[in-house]
Structure formats: C-alpha cells, structure tokens
Amino acid sequence: MVKSPPTEKRLMGAGVFLDRYKAMGHELRGSERTKRAIRVNTLLASREEVVRKLEARGVKLTGIPWLRDGLYVEGGESSVGASFEYLLGLYSIQEAAAQFPVEVLSPNPGEIVLDMCAAPGGKTTQMAAWMRNSGVVVAVDVRRDRLYALENNLERTGSENCVAYCADAASFDYGGTLFDKILLDAPCSGNYVTDHSWFNKRNVRDVEANAAEQRRLLGAALGLLKPGGTLVYTTCSLEPEEDEYNIQWLLDSHDGELVEVEGPGSPALTEAMGRSLSKEVARCRRFWPDEMETQGFFVAKVVKQ
Amino acid sequence: MSELRDFLTAMGAVYEPVGERVNLNDRRFIVNPELAARIHDRSRMIYAGNLLGRTKREFMPGSSLLRELGKMKGPNKVWVDDRVGWLFVCGRDIFEESIVRAEGVLEEGTFFLVMLGDDCLGYVRIETQDGRRLLRNIFDLGDFLRRERRILE
C-alpha cells in the first residue's frame, strides 16, 4: 500500500475538513445525507400528472417548497429510477440543491444560454424545460465519457433546443456569440454528503487546484456574456476557496455586479478561514447539509456591467 | 433521408419532420433554424436539436420520433397491459396473445408501435416462431436504463 507523504496526510481526512467547517461556524457530523428528489419535466408532463402517476405506483412524494418543479421522494414500494414515467421522460432524478441554480438563472424562452460544464445534463434539460424548447442552449463539456449521459438525457426528456459540444468551454470558439445567460456549474471537489468515501479521497491541495481551474472558467464566462447578461456560478463544494474566495477574485478583477440570490440556504461567508471578504459576497447563498437536508452547495449570481 | 421514409412506410405512417437535417456519424437530427445558426464547429458537436434516429443496418427511431408517431392516427399500433409493457421495456419479445388491442394488420415483416395507454414504449416487427406469432422487440425505452448502466460501468 502506498502511504501518503506526512504533509499530504495532514491535509486530508474527515477531521481536517470537519475542523474547517467548524471554524466557519458549522459543527457537522460528516454523516449527513440528502433526501431523494425528482424534477418534473414540464416539457412532457405537468406536476399533477407525475404526482398522480407515481402515487398510483405507490411512490410517496412531497413538494419542495423552494423549487418550482422539485419533489421529494419520501418512500414507497416502487423505484423512481425504473418506472415507465422515468423512461418516458416525464421526470428526472435530480438532487434538490442541484435544481436550484437554474431557478436562480431563470432562463426564458427565446434566450441564448450557455451551459459551460454541462455533463451529465440534468441542468441542461432543466433549462430546456424553463425555456419551453425555445431559444438555444449551448451545452459544453470537456469530458467525452460524461457527455454520453447528457446525450441520453437530452433524448429521453425531449429537450430539442440544445446543441452539445465536447470541448473546453473556456477556449471553445462560439463564432462570436455573446450569451444572454450563462450557467457555470464548475467542476469542484464535491462534498461528503453524496460521496461516502469523500473524506478519504480529498485533500486541501485538491481544493486549491480546483479553485484555480474555476477562476479560469469564471473569467472566460464573463467574457462570453452580453453586457447586462447574467452568470450563475455554482459548486457542490463547501470549501471557501472554491466558493466565496473565487467570487471575491471575480469582484476584484472583473466588471460584474453581484446580485442577491433569494431563496433557501444561508448568506455566503464574509469571514472564512481567517480571511475577510467584501460585504457583497454575502449576497451569494450557501447550503449547509445539516440545515438544508441537501448536499453542500454554493450559488452566486453576477450581472455583467 | 430515404431510410426514415422506408421506416415510416413500413410502420404505415406519414410524417415529414420540419427543420434542417444534420447528420452526425450514424445519427440523424432535425434542427430548427435558430439552433442551426448556433452550430459553428461540427467536428466537436455531439448532439443537436431533435434526434430522429440512428442508422445502422436499418433505421432505428429516437424516442421523440416514437413519441410523435404514438400520438398520430395511421401508424400500426398494438396495446399491452402494464405487466407485458414492463417485460417489453426489459427487452423481451411479446406473444400475440398478450396484445390487448391492435390497429393495423398483423402480417409478418410489418412494424408496430407498442403502446401503453397513450404512451409509446418502443416498436416491434411481426415474426413467426414455432408456428406462433411473435412481436420481436426491435427497440424499447428500457434502452435508456441499459445505456445508463453501460455509462456507469
């Protein structure tokens, strides 16, 4: 067995991360789990139809108060991952927090929207539904292996206003297109709620490396927006380097106004790991797993000047 | 797109998709003009608009084309119940005696949509096996789950 060098070991493990969260004001157990959720695909079904059909199969559902199309799966006899309704594209399985960024971006029919790190396509198909298959979603991801799932999701859900590319979203040639709205669901360190072995896989150096990549994508995203256009930046990381610090970097180095994200969760941190940040950073939202019963999540909304 | 025309003829359907046709390897897409204007780099494009189907040895319709055909009057259709429908989406063939209702003539070689109520679950070709009429599964929506499983592996 290969042993990690002593310095690396000091940077990883549940204790290291839980101590960091405690320093940010949250005593987490490290065993919090998320509730199962689905999202109604309004391109093909109404919420009432999905509830009626799944409840007839013995699935218990409750609405998620802060989501338009989200439903918690409270239990029941049938699997929501293998039903006629799933195969027919009437809903997608999508964790509650992961449904929030598109609600914040709120893409409208007719708009030209970029989904920068699109695979596996849950948010891409959600945007197509919000846009009622009108306008355009350009979906880009650099990982071909993850794009197969996106193709599958586009087909199953009847999302017909999307074009998907395998490319680096930051350097891809969009033919001079400037976008009305951009979703940057950045590749991140993830969090322990959805990955049981997360603490054994991650260390603080990974977090720093991911943060650098996220800044590269963020800078490119601002350049691809129309003046007055909206960018939603999101991660499923609880680490401030990937969240608040990156937003502070954006405020310091780019021409964008941070807009209040209204809805669930807590205001983002303005003091984190001994670093003071601008007061505006609190306009972003942070989902703590103990408060929200979701995975850890961060959402920021920026309007280009 | 003669393969699509041949498929529709065999199904007894008349359908003319509207939009620009885009081919990506063995897949056939239909794209509206607004989306077509945003296509800049076909070498990196992996999906666009509405997937009509795939052409391998024969044309295999995508799920949105099946959805459209399922809504129309004209195509050959057989209806099954929940139990047979679930066996079908698990990849199984259907025996004639499991058909609840049919529109079209069950002749060897013809294609039929398999319906559960108003929803199309896939399609079959009529064959005869050991003197029994069999509806051979050509495509069913369970393919999405099988593809997802392959992706995870």
- A181: CB partners within 8 A, 6+ apart: A105, A107, A111, A113, A114, A225, A229, A230, A231, A232
The two three-digit tokens of residue B12, written as one number:
């007894």
The arithmetic mean of pLDDT across residues B36-46, rounded, is: 90
**Integer Cα distance of B128 and B95 in angstroms:** 10
Write the CATH number of the domain with boundaries B76-152. 2.30.130.10
Instruction: Answer positive or negative: Cα dihedral of B33, B39, B43, B44.
Output: negative
Task: With cut-offs at 50, 70 and 90, classify the pLDDT of residue A200.
Answer: confident
- What's the pLDDT tens digit per position in B91-140? 999 999 999 999 999 999 889 999 999 999 999 999 998 888 999 999 99
**Integer Cα distance of A125 and A121 in angstroms:** 6
Task: With cut-offs at 50, 70 and 90, classify the pLDDT of residue A79.
Answer: confident
Give, for A303, the enclosing helix (H) or strand (E).
Answer: strand A297-304
* Model confidence at B47: pLDDT above 80: yes
CB contact burial B120-130 (16+ within 10 A = b; e otherwise) = bbbbbbbeeee
**Integer Cα distance of A140 and B148 in angstroms:** 20
* Model confidence at B153: pLDDT above 80: no
Topology, domain A96-304: Rossmann fold (3.40.50)
Say if the Cβ atoms of A88 and B145 lie within 8 Å.
no
Q: Are A194 and A93 in contact (CB under 8 A)?
A: no
Can you give the pLDDT at residue B69? 95
What ranges do the domains of chain B cover? 2-67, 76-152
Instruction: Answer positive or negative: Cα dihedral of B72, B74, B80, B84.
Output: negative
- What's the pLDDT tens digit per position in A239-256? 999 999 999 999 999 999
Work out how many CB contacts closer than 8 A connect A with B. 95
What ranges do the domains of chain A cover? 96-304
Does ipTM surpass 0.90 in this model?
yes
Name which of B39, B40, B114 to mutate to probe chain A: the one with the most chain A Cβ atoms within 10 A of its Cβ: B40
- A124: CB partners within 8 A, 6+ apart: A115, A118, A137, A139, A150, A153, A154, A159, A162, A164
Can you give the pLDDT at residue A7? 57
pTM, whole model, 2 decimals?
Answer: 0.94
Minimal Cβ distance to B147: which of A152, A161, A174: A152
Instruction: Answer positive or negative: Cα dihedral of B27, B30, B33, B34.
Output: negative
Averaged confidence pLDDT in chain B: 92
Can you give the pLDDT at residue B149? 81
Can you give the pLDDT at residue B2? 82
- What's the pLDDT tens digit per position in A85-117? 999 999 999 999 999 999 999 999 999 999 999
Task: With cut-offs at 50, 70 and 90, classify the pLDDT of residue B152.
Answer: confident
The minimum CA-CA distance between B76 and chain A, rounded to whole Å, is 20
* Residue A211 CA: distances (Å) to CA of A117, A207, B43: 15, 6, 30
Task: With cut-offs at 50, 70 and 90, classify the pLDDT of residue B48.
Answer: very high
Which residues of A are known to be catalytic?
236
Task: With cut-offs at 50, 70 and 90, classify the pLDDT of residue A2.
Answer: very low
The minimum CA-CA distance between A67 and chain B, rounded to whole Å, is 26
Can you give the pLDDT at residue B147? 85
Question: How many CB atoms are located within 10 Å of the residue A99 CB?
Answer: 23
**Integer Cα distance of A111 and A162 in angstroms:** 12
The arithmetic mean of pLDDT across residues A262-275, rounded, is: 95
Can you give the pLDDT at residue A6? 52
Highest-confidence segment of A128-132, B25-29, B59-63: A128-132
Minimal Cβ distance to A163: which of B38, B51, B145: B38
Q: Are A151 and A122 in contact (CB under 8 A)?
A: no
Q: In A, which residues are within 8 Å of B35 by CB distance?
A: 136, 161-163
The arithmetic mean of pLDDT across residues A45-49, rounded, is: 97
The minimum CA-CA distance between B9 and chain A, rounded to whole Å, is 24
- What's the pLDDT tens digit per position in A148-163? 999 999 999 999 999 9
Give, for A138, the enclosing helix (H) or strand (E).
Answer: strand A136-141
Residue of A nearest to B116 (CA): A84
